[in-house]
Amino acid sequence: MKLFVYHAPEQTPADQIPDCAVVIDVLRATTTIATALHYGAEAVQVFSDIDELLAVSADWPAENRIRAGERGGQAVPGCDLGNSPLDYRSQSAVAGKRLFMSTTNGTRALQRVQSAPLVVTAAQINRQAAVDFLLAKEPETVWLLGSGWQGAYALEDTVCAGAIADALPEMTPGNDEAVAAVSLWQQWQASLLTLFQQASHGQRLLRLQGDADLTYCAQSDQLDVLPIQTSPGVLIANPA
Ligand code: MLT
């Protein structure tokens, strides 16, 4: 298994696609996706464009849908909810519903790799589920794709990529970023919340009173669910 880490979709090689892409947006899109599917959401469908989200979701029964929109860390007017994973942490809120979702970076990262044969999402909260999936499938090439922030590096996504890579004894690093990600994880694994509080997007969320979100997102291996793409842009809980 050759494993490449990319900090943001803009940094991936334009003419390539891996056998398996693991999309990571710890703060907060892939934490929210895992949480919603864990609590019984039927599926999560992602969009880069809010207008497209509103148009497509209009054909869905209102009682069976949640429109989730986030820009700059804040909920988008006209959507039902924003991107706080805490809002999706109950069966009464999400069970049986489809989440129509658009976020600043995470949903764009998913779109970059949506043509890969295997696409899953990971965050700290379901890291072990992603590790188990990679160990079982043994894809030849894997991209751990951070969502970053508008093309730039994000500490929280890279440390999660390192946490996954470090648990794969048979992997060969495909780029220097993979080696660096493992070092970042080894340095910070016992104090992830402190790291997230220093991260630029962590600080943005703290300014928006997102303390509880950071605490939730910094937990490791709390959910067994693995979101997996079944058609471009649509993710369900991996039935395997
Ligand atoms: C994103 O996609 O950039 C995020 O998940 C932002 C957030 O809601 O914290």
pLDDT tens digits for range 219-238 = 999 999 999 999 999 999 99
Task: Give per-residue pLDDT as tens, 121-148.
Answer: 999 999 999 999 999 999 999 999 999 9
Task: Please classify residue 63 by burial: count the beta carbons closer than 10 Å to its beta carbon, then call 0-12 exposed, 13-18 middle and 19+ buried.
Answer: exposed
Per residue in 13-51, pLDDT tens?
Answer: 999 999 999 999 999 999 999 999 999 999 999 999 999
Q: Which of 87, 102, 94, 107 is nearest to 55 (CA)?
A: 102
Residue range 142-161: mean pLDDT, rounded: 97
Q: Say if residue 240's pLDDT is above 80.
A: no
By C-alpha distance, which of 132, 137, 201 is closest to 168? 132
The DSSP-derived string for the chain is -EEEEESSGGGS-TT---SEEEEE-TTTHHHHHHHHHHTT-SEEEE-S-HHHHHHHHTTS-GGGEEEEEEETTEEPTTSSB-S-GGGG-SHHHHTT-EEEEE-SSHHHHHHHTTTSSEEEEE-GGGHHHHHHHHHHH--SEEEEEE--BTTB--HHHHHHHHHHHHT-TT-EE-SHHHHHHHHHHHHHGGGHHHHHHHSHHHHHHHHTT-HHHHHHHT--S-----EEEEETTEEEE---
CB distance 70 to ligand 1 below 6 Å? yes
Report the residue among 23, 33, 50, 70 best suited for mutation to probe ligand 1: largest number of ligand atoms under 8 A from its CB.
Answer: 70
Ligand 1 centroid vs 129 CA: distance in angstroms?
A: 21
- Sequence-distant (≥ 6) Cβ neighbours of residue 204 within 8 angstroms: 72, 73
Residue 239 has a pLDDT of 85
Atom of ligand 1 nearest to the CA of 84: 8
For the entire predicted model, the pTM comes to 0.98
Say yes or no: CB of residue 148 within 6 Å of ligand 1.
no
The stretch 64-83 carries a mean pLDDT of: 97
| Distance from residue 84's CA to the centre of ligand 1 (Å) | 9
Taking the CA of residue 29 as reference, the ligand 1 atom at the shortest distance is 5
